[in-house]
Amino acid sequence: MATEQRADENKPEKGNEDQVANTSNSGGFRGMVFEQYRKAKENAEAYPYVWGSYLIVYGGFGLWVAYRYRKLRKTEDRVRVLQERLRILRQEREPTSSSVQMSEKMTSSTEKPTK
């Protein structure tokens, strides 16, 4: 009698599995995604501590990567600002240095013909 109840209990489950399998086969890509989601969900429910440890490890890794990326972007922004300041300073000093160079060229050019 207990075996008959177990057999009866298994039949509806197989019917549901067949129905899910039919919907996944007829759904194409969407059905495949749903099937994979269902498998992952069942596995997560069966092994909650394993999935929890995955979340902690990979979540922590993701937070660290986000932190380092943000820090890198801030450093790059600071470097850009400093480069812009240097460019402006160089442009300000360039006309004075170019005028000095021009006067040196003029004096050197006047000296050449006299030699």
Written as six digits, the tokens of 60 are: 């922590």
* DSSP 3-state of 1: coil
Written as six digits, the tokens of 85 are: 């300041």
pLDDT score, position 95: 72
Predicted model pTM: 0.47
pLDDT digits (tens, 9 = 90+) for 16-46: 555 555 544 567 999 999 999 999 999 999 9
Please name which of 99, 96, 93 lies closest in space to residue 107, comparing C-alpha atoms. Answer: 99
Residue 10 has pLDDT above 80, yes or no: no
Within 10 angstroms of residue 51's Cβ, the number of other Cβ atoms is: 14
φ, ψ for residue 27, nearest 5 deg = -80, -10
pLDDT digits (tens, 9 = 90+) for 69-114: 999 999 999 999 999 999 999 999 987 665 556 556 656 555 555 5
